[in-house]
Amino acid sequence: CHPNSHGGQCLYTVYLIKIYVCDLCVALYPSAYRIKRGTYSLINPTFQQSVEDIELLFEILLAGMQIQGDKHTLLIPDEELASLRSVEKLEVICEDVLPKSLSDIRRLTAELTQRRQPLSWQDFERTVLTLVYITQTLGQISNKHQREMWTDTLVQLFRAVHRDLKPF
């Protein structure tokens, strides 16, 4: 806004920008923008801030990280990795941000299918972690119908991630 412009125009412009930005970021993972565990620093948490964080996430996944849906807990079998301070954000993402119900994951998949712009790196990280959660959940489902529904959702979410990796 220009200092000499009318205040109403500035407020309206700021309001429109806020609506546009919120529509882009809140739609996929709305719980990421709610205060968790009593600290403002965990609003919109992201684990990967550097190459070292990416390597750490890969190491945690290789160590057998488990995202428990019904209990909403993150289990990392390696005690040394689990005790790292940076894992707190990963716990918040996996326990409080990722969708856990089939209906919530299907909603996410439908929204991703209709997206025309690339995912933000935060949403890409969350979507990949959601894929991890789905594959772990599939390993525990014995009901054929449930297994087919979760498998279909996994395939659709994978396609959305794959499409996001292609140049627009």
List CB contacts of 7: < 8 A, sequence separation 6 or more.
Answer: none
Render pLDDT for 10-38 as a digit per residue (tens, 0 to 9). 454 544 444 444 444 445 777 666 545 55
Instruction: Give 3-state DSSP helix, strand, coil % of the chain, rounded to 5.
Output: 65, 5, 30
The confidence score (pLDDT) of residue 54 equals 87
Confidence at 42, pLDDT banded by 50, 70, 90 = low
Paired residues of 11 in beta bridges: none
- pLDDT at 95 (0 to 100): 85
Query: Can you give the residue ranges of every domain in the chain?
Result: 27-165
Which tens digit of pLDDT belongs to each residue from 54-80?
899 999 999 999 988 666 688 999 999
pLDDT digits (tens, 9 = 90+) for 101-115: 999 999 999 998 888
Q: Give the helix/strand (H/E) hosting 67.
A: strand 66-68
DSSP annotation string for 94-160 = IIIIS--SHHHHHHHHHHHHH--SPPPHHHHHHHHHHHHHHHHHHTT---HHHHHHHHHHHHHHHHH
Average pLDDT, the chain: 79
Please tell me which of 117-121, 143-147, 161-165 the model is most confident about, judged by mean pLDDT.
143-147
For the chain, give the percent of residues with pLDDT over 70: 72
What is the torsional sign of CA 57, 59, 62, 65? negative
Mean pLDDT of 107-135: 90
pLDDT at 166: 79
Note the pLDDT of residue 50.
Answer: 86
pLDDT at site 15: 43
